[in-house]
Chains A and B, each alone.
Chain A
Amino acid sequence: MQVLRPASIADALAMLAGGDARLVAGGTALQLEWAKGLPKPRSLVDIGQIGGLKGIVPAGNGLRIGALTTLGAVERDATVREELPLLAAALRATAGPAVRNLATVGGNVAGRTGCLLPALLALDARVESSSVVGRRTLPLSEWLRQEPGGEIIEAITVPVPDAHVRWTHRKIGLRAAFTPSVIGAAGMIEIVDGRVAAARLAVGGGMVTPARLGGAEALLVGQPFPGVDWNALRAAIEGEIVAPDDAFRSARYRRKVAANALVHGLGGDKTDAQPSRPSAPAARPATPPAGEIRLTRSTAGERWHIRPDGPAKIEGKLRYLTDHRQPGMLVGRILRAAIPHARIHSIDTSAAEALPGVAAVVTYRDIAGSNAFGIVVQDQPALCFDKVRYVGDAVAAVAAVDAETAERALGLIQVRYGPLPVVSDPEQALSPDAEPVHAAGNLQTSLGFERGDIAEGFARAAHVVEAVYETPRQMHGFMETEGGHAFVDTDGTLNVCAGGQYGLRDRLQLSRVLGLPEEKIRVVTSPTGGAFGGKDELTVQPALALLALRTGRPVRLQLDRAESVLAGAKRNAMKIRMRTACDADGLLLAQQVDVISDAGAYASLGPAVLETALEHACGPYVVRNVRTSGRLAYTNNGVCGAFRGFGANQMAYAVECQMDRLAAECGLDVLEIRRRNMRKPGTRGYLGQVVALSERLEEMLEAAAADPIWQKPRGPSDDGSEIVGTGMAMNYQGNGLGSLPPDPAGGALRLAADGAIEALYGLDEMGQGLLTSIRSAVAAALGCGRDDVRPVTGDTGRAPESGSTTASRGTFVVWKVAAETAPALAERILARAAQRLGREPATLAIAPGGIVERHSNSGELLLSFAALAEGLDPEELPFAATSFEFPKSDYFEGNARMIFAFGVALARVAVSRITGQVRVLDLSQHTAAGPILDLAAYLGQIEGGGLQGVGFTLTEHAAMQDGRYLTANLDSYMMPSIADAPESVAIYALEDLDAGDPFGPRGAGELGIGAVTPAIANAVADATGVWPHAAPFDAERLLDALGAAA
């Protein structure tokens, strides 16, 4: 590729005529085009140097905008804002602010997919362009009808409309901001003497062909205003728009929402429709539970601490494991199958190995141990040998001197495949004639549980509700993609440093694959840039390790986002069929639950996720007669596994919607039906297991009843464009791995040689605030200052066994280790201090900074920790360690949790009558997870989990078709943006424990996501009368439901 820099338009045209050349203005589309597989041209023609193409000047009755003016510059232009508010609105809805500082007006128009086009069409803009035959100026609508190519846009001229116009603009996307366009619509009408004198309506953006809607315009012109026949106009617009289907939205939806947007925006309100209203929660005199606090910085006082890793992260100085650079370091890459299901006939790496700069190419032939990994069952090859089972399967890995060489080498590896039938549907995967993904068949796990007699329960029912709830293949979307670096020490120890959630288990898995003893491997897993369960399983570690061992050189490897989407684990997509019965008083009689879960190609933690889902099949409610079944099916879809919530949040979606639906059937308040069926403290758990004390479900119900969200407006919004509803859902989440798997924990404290109190934990800092929590717990238990504590985490070479940083277990482990080791460490520190000071240990105490006189009020240090440590030999430094199992229940016929955390989520939402899209206005979460170790970290977990839940509910799904992802990157995988964050969030905590409760703080990591989806679903039902049964909620179905209710 070469870059050509013409000095004039004529030069540029000549270069274009040379063939295989592409114009570059801002260049913002290039990466997207290349990522989508469009060929790179031989020449890039950079027109950025040509003079006279930038800037905004008055021209005739309008403005002339030079083609190279950036969208940002136009947006900031005062005249544009004042005279062309329609264009300004369109600019704000185009891309994101930083992209707008690069992208140009000419580029947005020239690509013919730009989001400015509807607005420019409605404004009757003109295009000035040059080609080899000369210059011309055409109305944009006409220019768009010309065959593209062979010319360069020099400017767009936009007439300034007179003051008597009505205008509207709406871009309908997949989320609230920075979204691909589903369709954009813009309209402008001129009203003279009470009649529409002129009208311009237009659509476009993305895959919708930009066009004026001449037929609909003709219908408007001459009509009295007000008095337009809006229904006829809506029908005409819908009939006239030409829009395609794609995997995300139907053509019908695009036509409908554009028509609605234009009609609403130009003044044709749909206020005749009144929504149907289900049972409205009664005004309830209620007070929040005693002791509940709202978590905010301003009310936290001395409990608010700045996390120790915060400043370095904000300054960009914290070095993540993927940021490691050193001279001589190789760059690794992994070759992915890119085909969902195939036999491997041969792998030829010779050409890649011969490429200068390539240090190693590894395949299955380089694996000395067992070529299989997996946390539950070892069914996933580190590098495939006989077949590939999903597009992201790893086939080979390369280490080269730089990324470019590594990429070229990947292209030189020859793999011959024999394609196999693709198994893409979990239900079909279980049919007898399905192609087996694994030799033993596609049924990975089958589970069931039965109590009582559901036939008898359903026979007695006054009300039965049944639905199938579908949940998405949610992507973890950690901002730091999977990666890290590896090297071999001089003593032969292999160091693998890659984001993870349980270093010792990564080490065990690596030892199996590599055929190396665990003692010869050190795994570093912190700091990690987000995980959410997605780095619990091995990711890049096998490839990194093989390349480092093979070359003997340091190697770094990080997946780019597209590869992470392709290869990384996702949340198991589930279908939950739930049938629930109650009597006339709303008492639950029977429930039947059938789950089918998509494992993808390998099991990973899918079996445990399914079992956890079933463990939460009745939520916090008592159901005498219950039958559950769950099946986990192998398919050729992307791998799935652990994800925050771990099956419980999926099941809560179903359970809590069923409760609201039964309440509606019974005519009961949504709180009352829950109160009547809530499990009672002190009784055995759902599976019959012993559960921990300090249940707080009733308190959470009280908190829900007292929440101010119920006092906020509901029903149609002021402008009639939205309908507002409020809903709630209970939250009930088990902590720890459960009664069946090993769940080791532990840690240690020591006085380090420099005087720091080192807190050694084999847990990982992934963003959740482990370091600040450790400081809090250790300082509280030992009596030292927070700043005295130096956490040492996420390194098998330096920290002991603490178990995994998953399953909401870390907080408890942090607290328990501190509580168990601090007294012993204190005793040893004071004994040493007493020797030094020549005093009795009993007269001394630990305080921030060191040792003080017991009962002294002065706080004067007798001896600092540093001074104490300085005088001690290394083996004399005080140390205390502990190890224990995470608390386990007494039920072993299935996996059962003992410790639960509690909560309730309340959501107020607005459902758009224009688009069917849902906005979360207010999200309120009440939680009871015991004493809070670190208030800011806890708040962050609930807030962050909450928005991840909003994404699960409204926008996120990594859809697949025939074993291939329909989304490749963050341009179409829609994690919530800041514009999707609720207008207000309120987080509350109830911290107290029952007398005699030995377990201390519970985990908050999964609590934030647990009940968000059903709270939003119930709020949508409050607004529309319809419960969405598939997440992310289908805007088209909601729009139809609103239409039907009208």
Chain B
Amino acid sequence: MIETIAVAFRLNGADTAMQVPPEMRLVDMLRERLGLTAAKKACGIGRCGACAVLIDGRPVNACLLMAWQIDGADILTPEGLDALPEAAIIRSALAEENAFQCGYCAPGFTIALTALLREHLEADEPAIRAALEGNICRCTGYHSIIRGALAAVRAMADRSAPQPTHG
């Protein structure tokens, strides 16, 4: 019998406690144990970003993290972005730009971009490129993603601009 480790963490806003085997990775816990399949496992060694999740607001590779390492962490998976108003704007900008094709990398890119734009509302193309260096997309050539990201920046700015008052 394999010894398991108790972990307690916040997952998409809900307190969660589990027993995990020492070799289990976060991505496998999400996909195989919890049925949360939005984070994709496309390389398994932290080199493509498809499994990205937010931990304490920062993107990390869920395939590199052992499940026991997340004890006490606040985790947002791509499913958890549903609750973030910024993510809704970003998702919509990416969709309108047709930023993705096969879409397998899309949740990971969206996680990375959400983390960037929550911190840097005014991100420009170099900042966007730098923030997405860890995400591989095989379909698009990236320019559609960059355009979508820039559209998201504009949309966020529109939202935060003072609204004209009518009186």
Contacts and interface: CB of A to CB of B under 8 A. Distances in A.
Contacts of B10: none
A786 to B, nearest CB: 14
Interface in A487-537: 527-530, 532
B83 interface: no
Interface string B90-133: 01101111111111111100101000000000000000011111
Contacts of B42: 479-481, 561, 970
Contacts of B61: 28, 98-99, 102
A481 B42 CA distance: 7
B103 A314 contact: yes
Contacts of B129: 978-979, 981
A887 B18 CA distance: 59
A793 to B, nearest CB: 14
Interface stretch (A316-324, A426-434, A676-684, A709-717): A316-324
27 contacts: A3-B5, A27-B64, A32-B46, A98-B46, A98-B60, A98-B61, A98-B112, A101-B55, A101-B60, A310-B95, A310-B100, A313-B102, A315-B82, A318-B103, A319-B37, A323-B37, A477-B138, A479-B105, A527-B102, A530-B104, A560-B44, A561-B43, A943-B141, A943-B144, A969-B43, A971-B45, A979-B133
A767 interface: yes
Interface in B1-38: 3, 5, 21-23, 25, 28, 31-32, 35, 37-38
A316 B102 contact: no
A82 B98 CA distance: 39
Interface in B128-163: 129-147
Contacts of B35: 325
B75 interface: no
Contacts of A355: none
B43 A970 contact: yes
Nearest to A529: B104
A144 interface: no
B63 A3 contact: no
A32 B102 contact: no
A970 B64 contact: no
Contacts of A97: 59, 112, 130-134
Contacts of B144: 939-940, 943
A975 B47 CA distance: 11
The 6 closest A-B pairs by CB, nearest first: A96-B134, A316-B38, A313-B103, A767-B102, A947-B141, A767-B101
A231 interface: no
Interface string B71-86: 0000001110110000
A314 B106 contact: yes
Interface residues of A, number: 83
B133 A977 contact: yes
A96 B49 contact: yes
Contact of A98 (B44, B49, B139, B141): B49
Contacts of A561: 42-45
A307 B98 contact: yes
A320 B146 CA distance: 25
Given A98-B52, A99-B61, A309-B103, A943 B143 contact: yes
Interface in A57-83: 72
A177 interface: yes
Contacts of A976: 142
A673 to B, nearest CB: 30
Nearest to B87: A315
Contacts of A854: none
A528 B102 contact: yes
B103 A529 contact: yes
Contact of B22 (A2, A317, A402): A2
A311 B98 CA distance: 9
B11 to A, nearest CB: 15
Contacts of B112: 97-98
B139 A28 contact: no
A368 to B, nearest CB: 32
Contacts of A313: 100, 102-104, 106
Contact of B64 (A31, A323, A969): A31
A479 B60 contact: no
A976 B133 CA distance: 10
Interface stretch (A40-48, A266-274, A867-875, A1033-1041): A40-48
Interface centre among A315, A939, A976 (most CB of B within 10 A): A315
Contacts of B81: 315
B64 A940 contact: no
A405 B94 CA distance: 40
Contacts of A2: 3, 22
A948 interface: yes
A1043 to B, nearest CB: 31
A3 B45 contact: no
Interface residues of B, number: 78
A978 B60 CA distance: 18
Contacts of A937: 98
Contact of A314 (B32, B69, B107): B107
Nearest to A942: B141
Nearest to B148: A314
Nearest to B35: A325
A772 to B, nearest CB: 8
Given A297-B97, A314-B110, 20 more contacts: A30-B64, A31-B63, A35-B44, A35-B45, A102-B60, A178-B134, A306-B96, A311-B95, A314-B91, A314-B95, A530-B139, A532-B138, A940-B98, A943-B143, A944-B101, A969-B45, A970-B47, A975-B138, A976-B142, A978-B142
Contacts of B46: 28, 31-32, 95-96, 98-99
A177 B136 CA distance: 11
A558 to B, nearest CB: 8
B133 A177 contact: yes
B152 to A, nearest CB: 11
A403 B28 contact: yes
B156 to A, nearest CB: 16
Contacts of A221: none
B102 A766 contact: yes
The interface centre, meaning the residue of B61, B103, B130, B135 with most chain A CB atoms within 10 A of its CB, is B103
Interface string A289-315: 000000001000000001101111111
A307 B68 CA distance: 39
B60 A27 contact: no
Contact of B102 (A102, A178, A530): A530
A15 B131 CA distance: 38
A92 interface: yes
Contacts of A44: 22, 66
Contacts of B66: 3, 24, 27, 30, 44
Nearest to B68: A3
B103 A310 contact: yes
Contacts of B37: 316, 319, 323, 325
A981 B141 contact: yes
A1046 to B, nearest CB: 32
Contacts of B40: 479-480, 529
A768 interface: yes
A781 B142 CA distance: 33
B44 A767 contact: no
Nearest to A769: B101
Interface string A221-241: 000000000000000000000
Nearest to B34: A325
Contacts of B91: 311, 314-315
A72 B130 contact: no
Which of B40, B131, B141, B143 counts the most chain A CB atoms within 10 A? B141
A129 B79 CA distance: 42
A936 B148 CA distance: 13
A478 interface: yes
B69 A46 contact: yes
B127 to A, nearest CB: 11
B58 A72 contact: yes
A643 to B, nearest CB: 12
B149 to A, nearest CB: 10
A532 B42 CA distance: 16
